[in-house]
Amino acid sequence: MSQAADEVRLKFERSRHHLAELGNGINSYLDREPFHMHSEEDEATGDLVYLVEVRESPPVALSLPLGDAVHSARSALDYLAWQLVIAGGGTPNFQTMFPISETEAKFNGNYEWRLQGASASAVVAVQALRPFGGGDDRFWRLHSLDIEDKHRLLIPVGAAHERVNLSFTFTGMNPAFTGMNPVVLGLNPVDRQYPLQDGAEVYRITKAARESADQGMGGPHSFDFDVVFGKGVIVCGEPIIPTLPNLIQDIESTVSPLFQFLS
């Protein structure tokens, strides 16, 4: 592999360094158990309602390695474009960058201009990746996050409940079930409720279900929480980990065939 290709990979490696810092920060935050659950009865319906107490919001400082990881990956793509132009015998300039556009029409209007000086085969190979919204959306998502981070912090304010773990026991139903270990069922909610607000209702057990529990079918419930992208970005509501690491890894793998055009 050429030195230029190694240098592109180093750029992506730097992004992974920031991702590791980000992951450690998120894990440290969640380890502090920032969410506390309590239940109360809805007097109007008889339902049991689980509410969340938000004791600590995700630290704003998480925005720094988050933005750095995004920018390092986007810079790796631009560095790749720069090296493609050099390998093609051209001279890179301030207009040289890896072309990513919101739509196919916009992409078709500027991708050759952004890669001016690169070999024709390299330009065709970049075009074949379809790095635009509606094509390979992963490129557009990364590009959008990078643009967003240039104007404001990508604050991971969206702390959502990731999964509700329901534990079922059957001791009151049939002697055959006596001594049977509880069955735990994990449910992923459709509404992730981001950002999670203090006092928000996370889960509700209807009166009928509570009566079934009284007959031996119920058990303790637990709740898993996550840190997600806040509103206003293209990946809003999605968990930061693994969404961002997977996005960057997928893009690096997708562009690696372009290394054959580097000197």
Query: For position 225, what pLDDT does the model report?
Result: 86
Query: For position 15, what pLDDT does the model report?
Result: 98
At a CB cut-off of 8 Å and minimum separation 6, what does 170 contact?
Answer: 177, 180, 216, 217
How is residue 222 written in tokens?
């637990």
How is residue 258 written in tokens?
């372009």
Instruction: Sort 81 into a burial class: Cβ within 10 Å, 0-12 / 13-18 / 19+.
Output: buried
Q: Of 239, 230, 193, nearest to 30 (Cα)?
A: 239
Mean pLDDT per 10-residue segment, the chain (263 residues): 93 98 97 91 87 92 97 98 98 97 97 98 98 98 96 78 57 49 48 80 78 56 84 90 97 98 90
CA-to-CA dists, residue 87 to 32, 115, 116, 253, 260, angstroms: 51, 11, 12, 20, 10
At a CB cut-off of 8 Å and minimum separation 6, what does 105 contact?
Answer: none
Q: Of 205, 191, 202, nearest to 51 (Cα)?
A: 202
Query: For position 185, what pLDDT does the model report?
Result: 44
Query: For position 263, what pLDDT does the model report?
Result: 78
How is residue 176 written in tokens?
């055959």
Query: For position 177, what pLDDT does the model report?
Result: 46
Measured distance CA(42)–CA(202) in Å, rounded: 14
Measured distance CA(93)–CA(85) in Å, rounded: 10
Query: For position 197, what pLDDT does the model report?
Result: 87
Residue 175 DSSP symbol: G
Query: For position 184, what pLDDT does the model report?
Result: 43
Asked whether 164 and 202 are in contact (CB, 8 A), the reply is yes
98-139 pLDDT, tens per residue? 999 999 999 999 999 999 999 999 999 999 999 999 999 999
Bridge partners of 51, per DSSP, are 38, 201
At a CB cut-off of 8 Å and minimum separation 6, what does 229 contact?
Answer: 154, 156, 158, 235, 236, 237, 238, 240, 243
Query: For position 213, what pLDDT does the model report?
Result: 56
